[in-house]
């Protein structure tokens, strides 16, 4: 299988702090890759580097390559807006825009001029709310403010909004950590159904969640990738002692 993303000799500095150290990775399509590791090891930084959100932080320096279908997303001729359209990010806490439920989903489509008329927009809004598993709960109140939804519903709305701009890759930075168990289950179920269509990379602190979701696992420690591979191998036969200790709960 051709990797969708290849990370080569990636180093990231925040000012004088060296946060990501010589990262080399291959991310496969139509699989869920889970990134794990103790707090501060660089998981969020790695995700932000993958869709160039890192450039919004002052004083960062990125070296090395991130190839998306073989093309370096940091090369000069690449349009950063296009990169962020292809690689969507689902944040830790839902961040609905201060507008209606329907308008939240339509927002990105309008920005990127993806639909030509209102009826098409309306159809897509319904479609992506269905895909995110929220349609039945909100179909009768599409014009209500998005902030009137529960936190779990807001996170599914943000998923719908992200999918509506038709990304190829979904990044999730602890996307269920602000949610109750039932809402988390909703999101997990969606990620599992969506994985055939997208390349998915999820950061989680919950070992059980990682085991439920992961096809591939990346274990990081102090800015380095310590171990990466198929979930079964990393969870059941970790090769590196650090990974064994982490999985045993020794951190
Ligand atoms: N804007 C910044 N300026 C300076 N240092 C930063 C900045 N953002 C993060 N760092 C540092 O970079 C390192 C990696 O941070 P990062 O947020 O990527 O970790 P993480 O693995 O996501 O942790 P957590 O599990 O707590 O979310 C940490 O030491 C952090 O303090
Ligand atoms: Mg983080």
pLDDT in tens, 167-223: 999 999 999 998 889 989 999 999 999 999 999 999 999 999 999 999 999 999 999
pLDDT at 145 (0 to 100): 98
pLDDT digits (tens, 9 = 90+) for 90-106: 998 999 999 999 999 99
Residue nearest to atom 6 of ligand 1 (CA): 14
Rounded (10°) CA dihedral 69, 5, 164, 49 = -120
pLDDT digits (tens, 9 = 90+) for 113-132: 777 788 999 999 999 999 99
- Reduced to 3 states (helix: H, G, I; strand: E, B; else coil), residue 74 is coil
Q: Please, which pLDDT band fits residue 250 given cuts at 50, 70 and 90?
A: confident
Domains present along the chain, CATH in parentheses: 5-98+169-247 (3.40.50.300)
Regarding the beta carbon of 117 and ligand 1, being less than 6 Å apart is answered no
pTM above 0.85, yes or no: yes
Q: Which of 84, 102, 201, 203 is nearest to 161 (CA)?
A: 102
- Reduced to 3 states (helix: H, G, I; strand: E, B; else coil), residue 203 is strand
pLDDT digits (tens, 9 = 90+) for 77-88: 999 999 999 999
Range 211-236 burial, b when 16+ CB lie within 10 A, else e: ebbbebbbbbbebebbbbeebeebbe
% of residues, the chain, pLDDT over 90 = 90
Q: Please, which pLDDT band fits residue 108 given cuts at 50, 70 and 90?
A: confident
179: Cβ contacts below 8 Å, ≥ 6 apart: 151, 152, 155, 187
First to last CA, the chain: 34
- Nearest ligand to the CA of 13 is 1
Q: What's the token pair of residue 102? A: 């329907």
Regarding the beta carbon of 156 and ligand 1, being less than 6 Å apart is answered no
131: Cβ contacts below 8 Å, ≥ 6 apart: 160, 163, 190, 194
pLDDT at 1 (0 to 100): 84
Q: Which of 56, 62, 54, 59 is nearest to 173 (CA)?
A: 54
Cα–Cα dist 158/161, whole Å: 5
Q: What's the token pair of residue 235? A: 């969870």
Indicate if the pLDDT at residue 143 is higher than 80: yes
Which atom of ligand 1 lies at the shortest distance from residue 57's CA? 1
Regarding the beta carbon of 23 and ligand 1, being less than 6 Å apart is answered no
Is residue 60 a contact partner of residue 54, using CB atoms and an 8 Å limit?
A: yes
- Centre of ligand 2 to C-alpha 63, Å, is 21
Mean pLDDT of the chain: 95
Regarding the beta carbon of 39 and ligand 1, being less than 6 Å apart is answered yes
pLDDT at 114 (0 to 100): 79
Regarding the beta carbon of 60 and ligand 1, being less than 6 Å apart is answered no
Regarding the beta carbon of 57 and ligand 1, being less than 6 Å apart is answered yes
- Centre of ligand 1 to C-alpha 223, Å, is 9
Is residue 145 a contact partner of residue 99, using CB atoms and an 8 Å limit?
A: yes
- Reduced to 3 states (helix: H, G, I; strand: E, B; else coil), residue 88 is strand
């Amino acid at each position: 299988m051709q990797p969708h993303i290849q990370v080569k000799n990636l180093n990231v500095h925040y000012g004088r702090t060296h946060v990501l150290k010589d990262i080399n990775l291959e991310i496969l399509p139509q699989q869920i890759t889970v990134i794990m590791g103790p707090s501060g090891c660089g998981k969020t930084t790695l995700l932000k580097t993958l869709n160039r959100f890192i450039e919004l932080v002052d004083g960062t320096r990125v070296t090395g390559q991130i190839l998306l279908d073989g093309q370096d997303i940091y090369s000069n001729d690449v349009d950063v807006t296009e990169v962020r359209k292809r690689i969507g990010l689902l944040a830790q806490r839902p961040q609905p825009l201060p507008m209606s439920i329907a308008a939240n989903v339509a927002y990105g489509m309008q920005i990127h001029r993806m639909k030509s008329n209102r009826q098409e927009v309306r159809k897509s809004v319904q479609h992506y709310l269905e895909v995110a598993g929220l349609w039945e709960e909100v179909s009768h109140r599409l014009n209500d403010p998005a902030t009137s939804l529960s936190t779990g519903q807001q996170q599914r709305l943000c998923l719908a909004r992200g999918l509506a701009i038709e990304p190829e890759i979904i990044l999730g930075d602890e996307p269920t950590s602000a949610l109750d168990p039932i809402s988390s289950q909703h999101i997990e179920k969606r990620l599992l159904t969506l994985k055939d269509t997208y390349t998915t990379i999820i950061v989680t602190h919950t070992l059980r969640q990682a085991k439920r979701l992961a096809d591939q696992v990346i274990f990081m420690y102090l800015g380095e990738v310590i171990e990466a591979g198929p979930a079964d191998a990393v969870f059941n036969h970790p090769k590196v002692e650090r990974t064994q200790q982490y999985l045993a709960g020794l951190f």
